[in-house]
Chains A and B, each alone.
Chain A
Amino acid sequence: MTAQIQEIPPIPQAAPLEPPVPPKSSNLLPVTFQNDPAPPELIAQGAEALLYRTTYLLPSIPCALKYRPSKPYRHPILDTRLTKHRILSEARVLVKCRKEGVPVPAVYALDEKAGWLMFEWIEGEVVRVRLNEWLRRRKGVEGGIQLGEEYLRALMRRIGSALGRMHGIGIVHGDLTTSNMMLRPSKNEAVSAAGGSETEDQILDGDIVLIDFGLASQGTQDEDRAVDLYVLERAFASTHPRAEPLFSEVLDAYGKSFKGAHIVLKKLEDVRMRGRKRSMLG
């Protein structure tokens, strides 16, 4: 016991730390696309990457361009290592999924040193947006969520079986959230939606397309698969607490989707316990 009683003077202060202002990254686009006559349109800024919509290949083919700019906070060596690894592994995983019939966008082109990957443009919206919109509209109606529960259940089951198919071919996503799944309008729906206004429950219609494989890896370990499900389960609970009770539908459909899925579900219980039992000192 060497320390003295430390005086802690009572000066509360409310100053956010002002970080040293680096020049705003001027090249938020890879060099190849900077002089494109039809400049790519920024769709979203995720945590790691910028997503653009571009017609670089052909005016008639819209594609998605995912660019991973270098991160100023990361050591340059680490940054290069992570970017290269992630672009290549994402492309490999997408190609494998495509080949095996898991619904993902098709890869068109990439340059791992420049940090970009170009793939098929998927129409529709992410599940998070659709689900929240549905929950919002349902909230106003008396007993709304119960009334439309079957639609929600059906969506959850589609999610579960898509995940099962992906795990079944030896792919682990690594970042499953409802922001990383799209609902793509099916062909016949596109016709009906054009004809009349969208009803509430049609919001949840469409085919699940899994996106953002930036943290994905190839592997068949039940541990990794279970952690994948655990990540989604928690993301779900924190993003859509109202829909959480139906998460079991995802797992149920998952369990029926490939041989060995029940072992993963068993493992998931272990992972959950680990998550909650972890000693949390200090």
Chain B
Amino acid sequence: MIAIGLEGSANKLGVGIISHPSPGKPAIILSNIRHTFVSPPGEGFLPKDTAKHHRSWVVSLVKQAMAEAGVSTRDIDCICYTKGPGMGAPLQSVAVAARMLSLLWGKELVGVNHCVGHIEMGREITGAQNPVVLYVSGGNTQVIAYAEQRYRIFGEALDIAVGNCLDRFARTLEISNDPAPGYNIEQLAKKGKVLLDLPYAVKGMDCSFSGILASIDILAAELKANPEQRDPITGEIITTADLCFTLQEIVYAMLVEITERAMAHVGSDQVLIVGGVGCNERLQEMMGLMANDRGGSVFATDERFCIDNGIMIAHAGLLAYETGFRTPLEESTCTQRFRTDEVFIKWRD
């Protein structure tokens, strides 16, 4: 069976086409393309501009994805789209496009939970069987494990998501949003050495980032006012690279800690990292060190699958479609709030 997936819950518009040859066989990716709306330095992406971006690109992306996959509309079994969670206006634009395709081609719709899309694609690509999942992106921070037909959330950010904390700090520093603010922070952090004092906010398996963002913003303002500050221990001049380094070291240590706690709690030794922040090599490295200490292993994917994409929506949608799930046209809505644990995972034991 073949499905096309449309994703546009944030600033990436992704279209992917996947084929599930037969049960038990690995999925085949026929095409997976995306186009990113990049806002100027110092600014985030606004819903209305992002929605406009998606509307103007969706047709050409679908055409290109179909051409690359070498399939015709007759080969497609269902049209999968992101039902939520995400930003309202971009979600609506993509849902409208999906409905249009459904009517035009006479194919059924499948609304997909974005988070479940990430998890299922991560499992498919890495082959991780039953991992503890760390889902970290611009809008989500969750530690998830599967139990009894649901992806259950063991821990999550109590305020802003980790990616949002990083993105907003990139705005404070006014560094480029191209290709992604988090990527540019990561590159700057590689040059940092001095660990500054920041709060560390872990509560059980939950964590909090807004206080950390406020503190690092204060440090950045102080540095701007007085660029000659030196580290009291080493005597080295403090730079913005040190700020990025500190921020990464602290927030990733928190993420690894809550993941380790969840692993100890459920007795699992596999970790799967998904979501845009999951591309960060420092996070992957730290997670690897932790897993190694526990005799376990880390599974991660690269930017093709970590960052929002259409193929994960197609994959998770097709898994649901194969179990008989359909989204009738009248119910093909989207929603900004759609928790991971609301989805009934019929396709797993």
Contact = CB atoms under 8 A, between A and B. Distances in A.
Interface of A: 1-3, 5-10, 12-22, 25, 45-48, 71-75, 77-78, 82, 174-177, 179, 215, 227, 231, 234-235, 237-239, 241, 274-282
Contacts of B257: 47-48
B182 to A, nearest CB: 11
21 contacts: A1-B37, A6-B35, A6-B36, A10-B30, A14-B127, A16-B126, A17-B299, A25-B293, A48-B260, A71-B289, A74-B249, A74-B256, A74-B286, A176-B204, A227-B206, A231-B205, A238-B153, A280-B86, A281-B336, A282-B161, A282-B276
A8 B34 contact: yes
Contacts of A18: 288
Nearest to B49: A1
B318 interface: no
A275 B142 CA distance: 11
Given A47-B257, A78-B195, A280-B140, A175 B204 contact: yes
The 10 A-B pairs with the shortest beta carbon distances in the complex, nearest first, are: A19-B288, A281-B139, A282-B10, A10-B29, A282-B138, A47-B261, A280-B85, A282-B139, A73-B286, A73-B289
A46 B266 CA distance: 11
A25 B295 CA distance: 12
Of A45, A46, A71, A279, most buried by chain B (CB within 10 Å of CB) is A279
A1 B127 CA distance: 36
Interface residues of B, number: 90
Contacts of B83: none
A3 B35 CA distance: 7
Given A5-B35, A10-B29, A14-B126, 18 more contacts: A1-B37, A5-B34, A8-B309, A16-B126, A19-B298, A45-B264, A46-B261, A47-B261, A227-B203, A235-B205, A237-B152, A238-B145, A276-B339, A279-B85, A281-B85, A281-B87, A282-B138, A282-B163
Of A9, A12, A277, most buried by chain B (CB within 10 Å of CB) is A12
Contacts of B256: 73-74
Contacts, number: 194
Interface in B269-299: 275-276, 284-294, 297-299
Nearest to A7: B33
Contacts of B92: none
B93 interface: no
Contact of B153 (A2, A215, A234, A239): A234
A237 B145 CA distance: 12
B85 A45 contact: no
A12 B249 CA distance: 30
Contacts of B294: 45
Interface string B163-182: 11000000000000011000
Interface string B130-149: 00000001111000010110
A231 B205 CA distance: 8
Nearest to B31: A10
Nearest to B52: A1
B321 interface: no
A20 B195 CA distance: 23
A282 B154 contact: no
B119 interface: no
Of A45, A77, A275, A278, most buried by chain B (CB within 10 Å of CB) is A278
B301 to A, nearest CB: 9
Contacts of B145: 238
A17 B33 contact: no
